[in-house]
Structures are given as structure tokens and as C-alpha cells.
Amino acid sequence: MRPVKILAADDDPATLEFYKTLLSEAGYQVETAAEATAAVMLFKE
């Protein structure tokens, strides 16, 4: 079974780091984006 991928987008770096740490520790593969355009590009990959 492949790990579940999560895309977290927020303009606050501390919030992104919190999401990434929390979700990674729970076993998810986490990508982060600090801007909406970057989030859309990552989502399309």
C-alpha cells in the first residue's frame, strides 16, 4: 500500500512546518506550499 499524500498550503511558514511535522509523524507523505500558485502546481503533479 502506498503512503497517502497530503498537500498543505498556508502563507505562514510556522503553520506549514507544524502540519508537515504532525502529518509526517502520522505516516503521511506531506508536500507544502506557501503560495496558492505553488499549491496548484503541486496538486497537478
- pLDDT, tens only, 16-35: 999 999 999 999 999 999 99
Q: What mean pLDDT is reported for the chain? A: 94
Specify the pLDDT at position 25.
96
Using alpha carbons, list the distances in angstroms from residue 27 to 6, 17, 38. 11, 15, 23
In the structure, what pLDDT confidence band is assigned to residue 45 with cuts at 50, 70 and 90? confident
pLDDT at 22: 97
SS3 33: strand
Domain count within the chain: 1
pLDDT band at 5 (very low <50, low <70, confident <90, very high): very high
Does the pLDDT value for residue 1 go beyond 80?
Answer: no
Structural domain including 10 reads: 5-44
Q: How many degrees, rounded to 5, is the angle at CA 44 between CA 42 and CA 2? A: 80
